[in-house]
Structure 1
């Protein structure tokens, strides 16, 4: 495993720790703080501030946040500045918190002076059973 791959995997590990202690601000630092970052899901949106506000609205309680785990993470460095990561995420939640949720993602990371940061996030939720 390269140093860059290890650093990107460390972003996931830290995000899970931050999420699972209910700290959305810390979780969001895995993303580049820029109005240009792009999110593709059921809608397309841009920007760090909007992303953080959406997370605060959708995951307004610890019960709604649940416990986050990542699996099947694959990292591919594209060059010295960019890399992609794919995998699955799972939120274990109570029924009152919305029930379990999960899906797949494809992220583009940029190596910045503050470390590897997510600049593109394509997330596909798993269908409800």
Structure 2
């Protein structure tokens, strides 16, 4: 009787585990974590004064869209050049912090992130802050920002 009960429990547990969805790289939880990681890496790069490193979080394409106070910018290279003009040195860049308000899966390959950015800078430069919304797309080499609206 014990063996039959044990066999029944093991069979039931095996069936339950086979039917339970497993978390993998395509689940919303891990996609959200991956997107958060990209933003954390960007903040660290920016805070070190390394714009090229910061830009690795963006889609390296002429179709990248950046919307800022000066209007629309298309392209990875042009976005980098705009950052270089606006933030010519580490003192101007300051220390970047993101406060994420929403990280939402739009599809298995697309995520929307809404949040607030803050640049802590020396007193003579003054702190800056604003809000942003970015759209991430999943590529073979990871999650990349394909559109950025920052104000």
Q: TM-score, normalised by structure 2?
A: 0.78
Task: Name which of 21, 25, 31 aligns with 2:52.
Answer: 25
Larger Rg: 2
CA contact (8 A) 2:100 2:113 kept: no
Aligned residue for 1:5?
Answer: 32
How do 1:1-129 and structure 2 match up within 5 A?
A: 2-42=29-69, 43-96=71-124, 98-124=125-151
- Report which of the two has the higher share of helix: 2
- Report which of the two has the higher share of strand: 1
Deviations 1:55-99 (A, max 9, x none): 111111111000100113421011111110000000011233x31
Higher relative contact order (CA 8 A, sep 6+): 1
Distance in 1 (alpha carbons) for counterparts of 2:82 and 2:141 = 24
Q: TM-score, normalised by structure 1?
A: 0.91
SS at 1:44's partner residue?
Answer: strand
Distance in 2 (alpha carbons) for counterparts of 1:73 and 1:16 = 16
Task: Report how many aligned residue pairs link the two structures.
Answer: 123
Q: Which portions of structure 1, spanning 4 or more consecutive aligned residues, are displaced by more than 3 angstroms? A: none
SS at 1:56's partner residue?
Answer: helix
Distance in 1 (alpha carbons) for counterparts of 2:87 and 2:135 = 23
